[in-house]
Structure 1
Amino acid sequence: MKDRMIRIMEGKRVTNFITILILINAILVGLETYPDFAAKYSTWLLALDFVILGFFTLEILIKLYLYRTKFFRNGWNNFDFIIVVGSLVLYNSPYISVLRIFRVLRVLRTITTIPSLRRVVAALFMAIPTITSVIVLMSIIFYVYAVIGTFFYSSVEPEFFGNLGLSFITLFQVFTLESWASGVFRPIFEVVPWSWLYFVSFIVISTFLMINLIVGEIVNNAQKISEEIDAETAGIIEELSEIDELKAEVAELKTMIQTLVDRK
């Protein structure tokens, strides 16, 4: 009975149903950002939210019954548990802002129901050590360029390079490529023509090279996870083929035995 319930809970129908509920929850939270709509349909929105939370709670309770302590060995299950329990505890509490955060966080449960999203997030977590090293390297690059920028351009554009802190903020704007040419570069370029070397070299090193390092690491980890899943799937397929062969042999034995019995 338990095995059948586990297959049902892990099946596509239940997974798709939970995913649809998560998407509906996301739409409801978005609709509540419109004050007129929220005031007009507040009763319906509250009722639907209560029903959705009820289904989420029922799902967690069933999984707790089926898996018992094994439920908490899975990080995604812990994530779902915290969100649902947090929503239940804060539902009738005065901490409305915290409750809204938990309601929005329910949208993140799509990660737990869609395997491809889980792989991407897992790859991202696997890349954290490399990303940390890249961030340290970027911090060093930012510091060097901030000091250089302060020395050379503090008198030209004190608004952007007046001190080390302002230089850091300016370089972050350049790093994001947001209005860096018209807002930061061109006024300085009119006074210091060779300043293009400073800005172009910083963009090439910080934006292009560093970001590509991070993206490349995440892609490599995602590929590793996919290969591991393919290997596990191949193993399962081999086991299933062996089971089919055994079934065929058993069927042949049954046929032979039945033939011998009929002859007697």
Structure 2
Amino acid sequence: MSMQTATLQNKLITLRNNRLFEVFVVSVIIFSALVIGAKTYDISATTLTIISWLDMAITLFFALEIAIRFMAEERKRRFFLNGWNVFDSLIVIISLIPIENSEMALVGRLVRIFRVLRMVSVVPELRELLNSLLSALPKLGYVVLLMFIIFYIYGAFGAILFNQINPVLWGDISISMLTLFRVMTFEDWTDVMYETMEVYPLSWLYFLSFIFLTAFAFLNMVIGIVVSVVEEEHQRMKQETNPEPTITELHHEIVQLRKLLVDRQ
């Protein structure tokens, strides 16, 4: 690598890691989202033309920003090993394809909507939260499975007991489970309960036990899992940013300090 190339790469690395540059990129992403939203309104042809030019300028800026990040990477192959870099590159490449007046125009507009997700790849804190959510999915899957079992059991009971009271809400097990979801979200659930209590006065036990299991117990389990995974992801990223020295490195530092003390004596 020549001296000029090394100097250029150092400047690009400095620019990529600059906080103001990151804030500017986030601002452009937010502005891009506003431009996309403006297209959904009934606007004049002149305004639409201006918005189209702005959209092209934003796309070119994103292409330049990705080029800066790619050139700043010391090992170019590692750039595409990052899923977010691949995602950003695909979004920009598809946005650059002139398909506005073709059959693929709808696809192009939909792809541009996903440019808002680039904020996740730019802001480390958002990326950490999303990685935590993805890491928590396997554990949350078991909670969802257990919740489905509870829904299924209570739905079967509801379809058998309350079918004659209100077939619209309790006609079969699938409708009963949908009604129970309404109860879990507290959407006028007391109206459903009071209707069944006119025939079964103790049916309040059915609803209160279901709410306790789903809205309280399972919700707290989900929150606990997510908080635990977020903390683990935070510690992992902290170790990657500031890795702790190994025993070999500590031993080497001690030897160097001893050698320095001996030389001074």
Q: For residues 124-203 of structure 1, what are the structure 2 equivalents within 5 Å? A: 124-182=133-191, 184-203=192-211
In the aligned structure 2, how far is the partner of 1:90 from the partner of 1:144? 54
Hey, which bits of structure 1, 4+ residues long, moved more than 6 A? none
Q: 1:39-58 deviations in whole A, cap 9, x for unaligned?
A: 45101111111100111112
Matched, 1:54 2:63: no
The aligned residue for residue 70 of structure 2 is: 64
Cα distance, 1:33 vs structure 2: 2.0
The aligned residue for residue 4 of structure 1 is: 11
Q: 1:28-80 deviations in whole A, cap 9, x for unaligned?
A: 112222213x6451011111111001111122233334432211111221221
The aligned residue for residue 50 of structure 2 is: 44
Mean Cα deviation higher: 218-227 or 16-25: 218-227
Residue in structure 1 matching 2:212, options 175, 183, 204: 204
For 1:131, give the aligned amino acid. Answer: L
In the aligned structure 1, how far is the partner of 2:233 from the partner of 2:157? 42
The aligned residue for residue 28 of structure 1 is: 35
The aligned residue for residue 230 of structure 2 is: 222
Q: For residues 60 and 233 of structure 1, do their structure 2 counterparts lie closer, same or farther at Cα, with a shift above 3 Å needed?
A: closer
In the aligned structure 1, how far is the partner of 2:85 from the partner of 2:219? 32
For 2:54, give the aligned amino acid. Answer: L
Match of 2:80, SS? helix
The aligned residue for residue 119 of structure 1 is: 128
The aligned residue for residue 87 of structure 1 is: 95
Match of 1:220, SS? helix
Q: TM-score with structure 1 length normalisation?
A: 0.82
Cα distance, 1:118 vs structure 2: 1.0
Comparing both structures, which one devotes a greater share of its residues to helix? 1
CA-atom RMSD, angstroms? 2.7
The aligned residue for residue 73 of structure 1 is: 81
Q: For residues 162 and 127 of structure 1, do their structure 2 counterparts lie closer, same or farther at Cα, with a shift above 3 Å needed?
A: same
In the aligned structure 1, how far is the partner of 2:196 from the partner of 2:94? 52
Q: Which runs of 5+ in 1 are unaligned?
A: 257-264
Q: TM-score with structure 2 length normalisation?
A: 0.82
